[in-house]
Amino acid sequence: MLRLLLLCGALGCGAEQAAPLAFTMLQLTRVYRGNSMFRGNASLNGQLSHVLEEHNVTQVLPLEPPDAWARRQNQVITYLKNFRQLVQLFNKERPINFTQHLCCHLGCRLFPNGTAQSFYEVTLNRTAFLSFHVPNATWERRWPGELPVATFAQEQLMKYPITTQDLQYFLNTTCVSILQAQSTRTGEVSGRSRAPLVLGLILGSLAMLGMALGIFLCTGGSC
């Protein structure tokens, strides 16, 4: 028994593995009778970095200087306004009297051994809908069973470099490099120079995603 305990001590038996560093972003969109409501947040290594509430987006961590962040805020507001106008347009043509919930969850993790894992997942009405396969830069359907809406959305997202190659670059390179820089500075938020790419690419990809999904979300799934 003593030898077993000593062996476990040498191998680290029962010891907790170090948690990976992570950068994640969550956007929740609620669509009802032509109205769109937005909520979301982003976090870097467990610290809240950005908050989205309706048309207000706040930078909690100082990832960008004030002038750069002011430009980023305007981009966010423009994206949300465009999404809302698109929803209103299609709702006039074919009103829907039930609520649709869209959730986008994306980010990356850096493990202590140096390996990284990136992801982008989309749920529709709390059911897995689409996911982005990062190594091949391809969108995959996750909806259980056949659904024309899922096929339509997948085809639309595969048409644009911003939702394929650009998104792959952000998840594989930009996102991971932020965490690599963070891991070398204990307790210090780094990667300021990369912050514009972070929000710019995310918001660009979400804009395209919102447009593609909005087409059928607000037309009763007719595609």
Quick: pLDDT tens for 124-171: 888 898 899 999 999 999 988 777 777 877 887 888 887 888 888 888
Nearest to 142 by CA among 154, 130, 153, 133: 130
Domain coordinates of the chain in residue numbers? 21-187
Q: What is the pLDDT of residue 220?
A: 53
If you write DSSP's letter for every residue of 176-187 in order, what string do you get?
HHHHHHHHTSTT
Between the ranges 5-14, 97-106, 130-139, 202-211, where is the mean pLDDT highest?
Answer: 130-139
pLDDT higher than threshold 70 for residue 35: yes
pTM here?
Answer: 0.75
Side-chain-facing half-sphere of 146: CA atoms under 13 Å: 1
Spatial separation of the C-alpha atoms in residues 34 and 93, rounded to whole Å: 10
Mean pLDDT of 114-123: 91
Residue 154, both tokens:
């997948």
Q: Which of 85-89, 120-124, 219-223 has the least mean pLDDT?
A: 219-223
Percentage of the chain lying above the pLDDT 90 cut: 11
In contact, 143 and 128? CB cutoff 8 Å: yes
Residues 6+ apart with CB under 8 A from 217: 31, 87, 100, 102, 124
Between the ranges 7-16, 111-120, 168-177, where is the mean pLDDT highest?
Answer: 111-120
Alpha helices in the chain (DSSP H): 2-11, 66-93, 148-157, 165-169, 175-183, 195-217
Other Cβ atoms within 10 Å of 84 Cβ, number: 20
| CA–CA–CA angle 64, 67, 68 (5° rounding) | 45
pLDDT higher than threshold 50 for residue 12: no
Highest CATH level, class, for 21-187: alpha beta
Spatial separation of the C-alpha atoms in residues 80 and 53, rounded to whole Å: 11
Q: What is the pLDDT of residues 50-108, one digit of tens each?
A: 888 887 888 888 877 788 788 878 877 877 787 787 777 767 766 777 788 888 888 99
pLDDT band, residue 22 (cuts 50/70/90): very high
Crossing angle, helix 195-217 and helix 66-93, to 10 degrees? 10
Q: What is the pLDDT of residue 115?
A: 92
Q: What is the pLDDT of residue 218?
A: 47
Residue 116, both tokens:
């990284």
